[in-house]
Structures are given as C-alpha cells and as structure tokens.
Structure 1
Amino acid sequence: MAYALVTGASRGIGRALALSLAECGYDLLLVARSGEALQELASEIILKHQREADFLAIDLAEPEAATTVAGWVQQQTPNLAVLVNNAGYGLWGRFEQLPLAEQQNMLQLNMALPVALTHALLPALRAGRDSQKSYILNVASTAAYQAVPSLTLYAASKAFLLSFSRGLRYELKDTKVSVTCLCPGATTTSFADRAGMGSELQKTAEKVSMTPEAVAAVAVAGMLSGQAEVVPGIINKVSAGLTSLVPKGLTERIAAGIYEKYL
C-alpha cells in the first residue's frame, strides 16, 4: 500500500488534503499538534474511505520535530509515496512590533520544518516501488509572489518555500519524485484568527475565499499531473500572474492598502 504523509493535518487545508488523498487510494499518516482532531480524522478516513490511517500528535515547531516524524514514518511503512508539507501559519502586524520569538517560531514551522522533513524522507520517496511515482507537495500561498507589508515575514517564508520547491523540482527532474508547490489565496480556515487579524480584515478576505475542500481537490489533481505550481481559483491565478507584470512598488502599495489600514 502507498502512504501519504500530511503535516498540519488536523484542520483546514491539511485536513482536506488528507481526505482528498484518501479518496485517491492512499493510506494516510497524519501529523499535527492536536491528537483529538487527528484521531477524529483518522477514524473518518478508515470508516468512510476504507483506507489505513495513523497519526502522531507533536508540536512541529520544535527543532527536533522533523527527526521524530521521519523516524515514526519509517516505522509505519517502507512505501511512502507522498509528502505534504502543509504545517505553517502567519502573523499579522508590523515586524518591529511583533515579538521576535513568535516570528522565529513561525519561520521554524514555515521553512525549517519542510526543509528538514523533505531531506529526511527524500530517500524513502526515491526508493518505494519502481513503477510508482512519488510526490512532494509544499503548501505556500499567493503571498509567495510579492512582499506583503504587515505580513512581511509570512510572505517571505512562503516565497522561500516556492523557490525551494522549484529548485528541488529541477534537481529531481530525472527521478521518480515530482515536486509541486500549492499557492492558495484566501481560504475559509482559521488562518486569520491564528495570524491575529481583525474582524474587518477577515470580512474582506471572506468575499473571495475558497473552501479547503475546493483548494485540496485542485491541489491533488495538480500534484498527480506533475504541475510545478498550483494556484487554485481564477482570481488568485490572475493576481499571481499580474505580480510579474506590475512594478513591485505598486503591488506593495496595493497590499499595504488592504492589510495595513486595519492595523
């Protein structure tokens, strides 16, 4: 049986990705901090989709988390076929006013964890069954395409993840491992609450938000078809495309006009 590992699987896009992968026939290894939520998801996968599912409750922001997760995965299966690096969050506010420790914790989860976990599990993804393709899906954001004042480090961390994905994809182009970067826009998850965004800003985002299920369906289809980048939704595609055509200073002023006025 082929297994898929999903980090940050307890809710939102991670949960939806796990369910979508189960529908595609993968057994699931689920990782996040909330054991209760993971137990519920694992039970749903087993009962509804008749797939195997196990979980590990762990704080993924801990420096040794990647080593722990990789060891656990290797104990669970010799046939890892999908790695989904989804765990991450944002912090809203001006860089100098946000506590440095909180920002460093975010960077650990958004950047250091997927790098370390990918490095640890890439040999397993390359091994697997000879006839079986393997996939890495890194979950970034449309914020990866431009600087976003008041989400400065979050956007920077997602730009890093996008660049890492594309570079690694090229390095692995002659192997069985395909790398895809998912860059969703506003999605109906707890992201805004976790980031500390005010209610007015959240209401603005809700007008163009996609559901996690819609994002996951597009993401998994794009991953399995070998796409380098997946940007779900027409509005998000247009927005991401325009950032390469419009002067950076203008896109930064537009982003600041959306996000900073609510600070």
Structure 2
Amino acid sequence: MTYALITGASKGIGLSMAHNLASRKYNLLLIARSEQELAAAAATLSAQYQVKVAWLAIDLSRPDSSLQVAEWCKAEQYPISILINNAGYAVWGNFEDRSLEDHQQMIRVNAETPVALCHHLLPILRQQPQSYILNVSSTAAYQAVSTLTLYAASKSFMLLFSRGLRQELKDTNVAVCCLCPGPVKTNFIDRAGMQAIKETADKYGMTPDEVAAAAIKGMFRKKAEMIPGFTNVLTAFLTRIVPKGLVENIAANLYKQ
C-alpha cells in the first residue's frame, strides 16, 4: 500500500485522519512540530493497524520546511498517493496589535507551506495510478472576519487555490479536494487565545473524528469542497446570498475581543 502524508498530524483532525487512513491500510508519513507527540502517535498507529508509520518533526513556519519535507520523502523513496495539508492555526486580535512576524508565520503555515508542498510532491503523486491532495481550509474562508483578518484571508486563499489546482489537474490522476470545517473540539481556540468563544465552540463544535470521517469520505469521492455539518453548510450558503456587510458584522460580533 502507498503512503499518506499528513501535516499537523500529532493531534486533532490530523491525528483522526491518520487513524482513518491507517484503518484502510494506508502507510503514514506524519509531520508536526512535536517529536514526542509524533513518536507516540506513530507507535500507537503502527501497533493498532499494522501499517508502516514514519514521522518528521519540523516547524512548518520555517521558509525551508516544505523543501526539507520533500527531500526527506525523495531520499526515503516513499510512494505517496495522498497529501493532506492539515497544519494551520489562527492569530487572534486586531491586525495592528499583533507583530508582523506573528502574521507572517501564520500565513506561511496556513498558505505558503501547503502550496510549496503541493508543488514539491506533485511529481511523486503523479507516479501512482490514483492520488489525492486534500487541503484543509475553514468556513472562515467564506467571509472576512475582523480580529481574524489574516486567518480568514489565508483560508480563503487555500479554498481558491485548491479549486484552481483541481481544474488544472482534472484530466490527470491527481484529485484535489478542499475541506472547510466549522468549529472543531480541538486545542485550536486555546492556542489562539480565543477564550471568549470557547464555550460556544465546545457546545456546537464537531469532534475531530467526525470531521476526519467526512473529509476522507469526500476525498475518495473526489469532491471539490467538503463542509462537514448541516449548520456549517447552511452558514456557508447564507454568506452567498446575505449582503457582505451584514455577514461581516455578524462575524465581527462573534469573534470580537
């Protein structure tokens, strides 16, 4: 069986995707920052599903990270048929109140590194009879969100990039899909410091396993775009028909500091 490479794979949705694919007997390449968490996840997955699991601890906010990942894959000659760009995080707060470095690192993880990984690994993906690229965006991609201005913009970028790349590759063996989840019960909110909405997210958010199951199912069905959860689908639909100013005001009130 070929390999699935997953970034942000040590916890949350990424780890749930790893379990889902391992249960289908895919070998795994896990990418994240924490060496300790990756080692523990790899040991569990390998023992539970009897698949091969390799991992690379690397900070994807580094400009050279995507090249290092690609060189590792090429050096080890991993036959990759699935690339999942799942790593991402939010910087919360008014644009001018956060450092430019904070913003740039987030954009690199959310957008620049996934794009570079797609470019570096497409030649490997093309070598398989059927391959998949799954880019993780967010329902934040469907409207501007103040205090999450660059996060929403980076996720909108990933959605449009994925759809454009999908069109370019539609007559090839590589299917490109984009996942746009709403709130998920992970450490995303804690990392961003968004404690003001934690209670709402915990109440209405989906579990990582639910999101991962919908994502992998949609990926194998070669869907262009997946929005897990009826409420999230409805919300995304409303952003298309409700005036942008009203949608942005609602989002601003939800995420204000």
TM-score range, shorter chain: over 0.9
C-alpha contact 1:90 1:195 (8 A) present in aligned 2: yes
Query: Matches of 2:25 and 2:242 in 1, distance apart?
Result: 42
Please name the residue that 1:254 is paired with. Answer: 250
Deviation at 1:2, TM superposition (A): 0.6
Structure 2 residue identity aligned to 1:61: S
Show CA shifts across 1:99-121 (max 9, x none): 11101110011111001110000
Please name the residue that 1:140 is paired with. Answer: 137
Show CA shifts across 1:47-83 (max 9, x none): 1111110100111111000000001112233421000
Please name the residue that 2:171 is paired with. Answer: 174
Q: Following superposition, which runs of at least 4 residues in structure 1 exceed 4 angstroms of deviation?
A: none
Structure 1 residue identity aligned to 2:115: V
Give the 3-state SS of the residue equivalent to 1:179 in structure 2: strand
Structure 2 residue identity aligned to 1:49: Y
Structure 1 residue identity aligned to 2:221: S
TM-score between both structures, scaled by the size of structure 1:
0.96
Please name the residue that 1:71 is paired with. Answer: 71
Please name the residue that 2:9 is paired with. Answer: 9
Please name the residue that 1:231 is paired with. Answer: 227
C-alpha contact 1:3 1:77 (8 A) present in aligned 2: no
Structure 2 residue identity aligned to 1:122: L
Query: Which range moves more in the overlay, 10-19 or 165-174?
Result: 10-19
Unaligned runs of 5+ residues in structure 1 are none
Give the 3-state SS of the residue equivalent to 1:56 in structure 2: strand
Unaligned runs of 5+ residues in structure 2 are none
Query: Matches of 2:27 and 2:185 in 1, distance apart?
Result: 26
Which residue among 162, 181, 185 is the counterpart of 2:182?
185
Query: Which range moves more in the overlay, 17-26 or 212-221?
Result: 17-26
Query: Matches of 2:92 and 2:102 in 1, distance apart?
Result: 11
Query: Matches of 1:40 and 1:20 in 2, distance apart?
Result: 17
Structure 1 residue identity aligned to 2:189: A
Please name the residue that 1:220 is paired with. Answer: 216
Q: 5 Å matches for 1:32-181?
A: 32-128=32-128, 132-181=129-178
Give the 3-state SS of the residue equivalent to 1:59 in structure 2: coil
How many residues are matched?
257
Give the 3-state SS of the residue equivalent to 1:243 in structure 2: helix
Give the 3-state SS of the residue equivalent to 1:15 in structure 2: helix
